[in-house]
């Protein structure tokens, strides 16, 4: 296996973490934020959802911008934009509406961070270590929730939640300063467009996979936004609940990196493994639904590790099964990922206000099982299309 420098990978993680930090810091500090600003659980879910909606809406356009300005400039823009959003929350969020406005700005910055870091990794990491690098990069989200969890006992309940956002802004600015100078240049171009038009992207399986990752994101995204409040409602202290979020996030980081490393050595079966992880994650959601402290800990570990540890493995699998046009293929599936990330907190918040945390976590578990089914169905179509193409190739050779 080829050797690689870890500096570009860690820098990509830092930028991606800064990109999602506004959303998950809001979720981790939800108890304090909601108490001061005076809104309910559904409003919290909507606020976090609008962060991802803005990110989803802007992703295609900002992806093209990144191709023009280059990965380095794109990463700096993303980190600075996230810092502005975090500082805006700390200084100006005196109502739910102003909080949402700042989160929308953060969503735009997040939309820049993904294409910029993907472009950066594609240029700087050897092909034989791509799975590992994408697994590490996908650790950005649990890293953000880890920081949010640690912010609860260290800042939110000591000096105030606004100072946690100030600290996040300082961290994002430090990341921006760490990005080296680079030249603006394009990656890809007519060859990639020609390959995609030539039929290398099989839309039917990709649409099913997009549905699968969308459902998986819908099930898992509420973990970062609601696990603290869920634990508090079950009788766990706020400080310990924040540490529970940190624990789950740490497990998620380890799983994403480990499975990214293993993916480089796999000859196939990556999507089947993703489906298995989603099934195991559903068990974790059921444990969370019990409200029992011992099962809350185990459920948090399983839900974060299995139910939300698959994105890097999934993205790498899509790239490997679409070698002729990986950017076009992941563009299709990323639509589902962003949509699910937006829908998850909103749906969870609505179910929570109408019922209870137990019911909301059970709904997440059911959605995770639906996600596993869609991923397996998409894998089946991929294998069938591959067999059909190979059969046509053999027939053409005989002719």
Assess if residue 185 is contained within a domain.
Answer: no
Assess if residue 1 is contained within a domain.
Answer: no
Q: What is the pLDDT of residues 227-244, one digit of tens each?
A: 988 999 999 998 888 889
Assess if residue 260 is contained within a domain.
Answer: yes
List, as one string, the DSSP characters of 288-313: HHH--HHHHHHHHHHHHHTTTS-HHH
Assess if residue 140 is contained within a domain.
Answer: yes
Measured CA to CA in angstroms, residue 1 lies from 10, 12, 113, 127 at distances of 19, 21, 28, 10
In angstroms, the CA 201 to CA 132 distance is 24
CATH code: domain of residue 96: 1.20.1250.20
In angstroms, the CA 98 to CA 7 distance is 37
Q: Tell which residue, 311, 266, 301, 352, has the closest CA to residue 16.
A: 311
Dihedral pair phi/psi, residue 15, rounded to 5°: -65, -45
Candidate ranges 13-22, 136-145, 271-280, 381-390; pick with highest mean pLDDT: 271-280
pLDDT of 197 higher than 60: no
Assess if residue 368 is contained within a domain.
Answer: yes
Assess if residue 226 is contained within a domain.
Answer: yes
Q: What is the pLDDT of residues 119-167, one digit of tens each?
A: 787 778 777 777 788 788 777 777 777 777 788 778 877 788 999 999 9
Q: What is the pLDDT of residues 294-347, one digit of tens each?
A: 899 999 999 999 999 998 889 888 877 776 555 556 667 777 887 898 898 889
Look at the chain and report how many structural domains it folds into: 1
Assess if residue 360 is contained within a domain.
Answer: yes
pLDDT of 3 higher than 70: no
What pLDDT was estimated at residue 392? 55
Q: Domain containing 320: what range? A: 6-179+197-398
What pLDDT was estimated at residue 218? 95
What pLDDT was estimated at residue 188? 41
Contacts of 385 (CB under 8 A, 6+ apart): 202, 204, 205
**Per-residue pLDDT band at 186 (split at 50, 70, 90):** very low
Assess if residue 190 is contained within a domain.
Answer: no
């Amino acid at each position: 296996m080829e050797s690689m420098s870890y500096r570009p990978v860690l820098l990509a993680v830092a930028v991606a973490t800064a990109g999602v930090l506004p959303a998950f810091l809001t979720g981790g500090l939800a108890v304090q934020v909601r108490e001061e600003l005076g809104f309910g659980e559904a409003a919290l879910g909507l606020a976090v959802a609008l962060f991802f909606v803005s990110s989803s809406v802007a992703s295609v356009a900002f992806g093209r911008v990144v191709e023009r300005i280059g990965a380095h400039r794109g990463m700096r823009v993303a980190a600075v934009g996230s810092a502005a959003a975090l500082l805006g929350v700390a200084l100006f969020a005196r109502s739910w509406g102003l909080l949402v406005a700042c989160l929308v700005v953060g969503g735009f910055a997040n939309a820049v961070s993904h294409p910029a870091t993907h472009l950066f990794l594609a240029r700087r990491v050897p092909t034989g270590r791509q799975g590992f690098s994408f697994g590490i990069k996908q650790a950005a989200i649990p890293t953000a929730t880890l920081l949010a969890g640690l912010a609860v006992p260290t800042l939110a309940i000591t000096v105030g939640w606004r100072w946690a956002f100030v600290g996040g802004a300082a961290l994002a600015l430090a990341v921006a300063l760490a990005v080296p100078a680079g030249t603006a240049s394009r990656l890809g171009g007519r060859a990639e467009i020609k390959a995609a038009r030539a039929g290398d992207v099989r839309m039917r399986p990709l649409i099913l996979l997009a549905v699968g990752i969308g459902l998986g994101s819908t099930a898992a995204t509420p973990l970062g936004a609601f696990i603290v409040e869920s634990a508090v409602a079950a009788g766990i202290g706020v400080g310990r609940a924040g540490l529970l979020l940190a624990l789950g996030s740490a497990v998620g980081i380890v799983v994403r990196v480990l499975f990214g490393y293993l993916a480089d050595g796999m000859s196939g079966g990556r999507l089947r493994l993703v489906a298995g992880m989603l099934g195991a994650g559903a068990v974790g959601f059921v444990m969370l639904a019990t409200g029992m402290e011992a099962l809350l800990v185990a459920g948090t570990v399983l839900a974060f590790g299995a139910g939300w540890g698959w994105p890097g493995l999934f993205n790498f699998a899509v790239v490997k099964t679409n070698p002729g046009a990986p950017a076009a293929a992941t563009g299709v599936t990323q639509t589902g990922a962003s949509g699910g990330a937006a829908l998850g907190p909103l749906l969870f918040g609505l179910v929570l206000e109408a019922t209870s945390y137990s019911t909301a976590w059970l709904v997440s578990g059911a959605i995770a099982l639906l996600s596993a089914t869609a991923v397996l169905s998409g894998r089946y179509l991929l294998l069938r299309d591959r067999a059909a193409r190979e059969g046509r190739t053999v027939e053409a050779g005989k002719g």
